Amino acid sequence: MDEIRALIVDDDPEIGELLCGYLTGYGIAADAVGDGAAMRSAMEKCQYDVVILDIMLPKEDGLSLCRQLRASGDIPIIMLTARGETADRVVGLELGADDYVVKPFEPRELVARIQTVLRRFKAAGAGGSEGELGQVISFDGWILNRTMRQLTTPRNMVVPLSNAEFRLLLAFVEHPRRVLSRDYLIDVARGRSADVFDRSIDLLVSRLRQKLDDDPKSPILIKTIRGEGYMFDARVS
């Protein structure tokens, strides 16, 4: 297995040094930088597998950097947030972050999140259950290209998807017209290390639902099943 390389972006040098040492102990090579400029410089010199990004940073905050990273590629992003920053965590997920860890946290939790995010990323890149549905999936006029991770509307417009939104949609199209529990969808979108009471899955469903609302006259594809979860109501081929 190739060595995992992580880039930590945190303006507290002690935290950066502590996390680098801890991740190294788990076989994850880590570098730490203190701001956005240093992050970009480090990424020009080295290819990283995951970025651990603090929200509270000088000059450019973590949300702005998350937006930049997602616009330029699909590298997995884990946000570091303070306990009271619920709104920032929500915005981070909307901007394309794959997961978040709430401060203060156990370093072992961060290791688990990194491993989970990378497993999901590699599985999505490999095509998941490719043998069952193939690389190109169609439903109600929509086209999902799992290789390119691209969603196209019935009007032939490309809809951008974050990594979490892509994984969520893939779970729905692989289980059409079946009720999927919130716990299952949390596992798909964020992994088993997620908080079982985390409400971010409802936000992700809401965001995906909005992106699938190409025509107001079209039926809602993702239906809420009260007390059960969600169901993808479409014919998939």
In a domain, 149, yes or no: yes
Other Cβ atoms less than 10 A from the Cβ of 106: the count is: 10
Q: How confident is the model at residue 216 (pLDDT cuts 50, 70, 90)?
A: low
Alpha helices in the chain, H assignment, sequence order: 13-25, 36-45, 62-72, 86-95, 107-126, 130-133, 163-174, 182-190, 200-211
In a domain, 237, yes or no: no
Question: Same structural domain for residues 148 and 111?
Answer: no
What's the domain count of the chain? Answer: 2
Contacts of 48 (CB under 8 A, 6+ apart): 5, 6, 7, 31, 42, 75
Q: Which domain holds residue 122?
A: 4-126
Q: Please state the rounded mean pLDDT for residues 82-103.
A: 74
- Final residue before a domain boundary, out of 126, 152, 181: 126
DSSP string, 56-90: S-SSS-HHHHHHHHHHH----EEEEEETT-HHHHH
Question: Same structural domain for residues 9 and 120?
Answer: yes
Q: How confident is the model at residue 1 (pLDDT cuts 50, 70, 90)?
A: very low
The DSSP call for residue 174 is: H
In a domain, 173, yes or no: yes
Question: Residues 31-71: pLDDT tens digits?
Answer: 999 999 999 999 999 999 999 999 989 889 999 999 899 87
In a domain, 169, yes or no: yes
CB 214 within 8 A of CB 155: yes
pTM (global) more than 0.85:
no
Q: Is the pLDDT of residue 191 over 60?
A: no
Question: Same structural domain for residues 110 and 170?
Answer: no
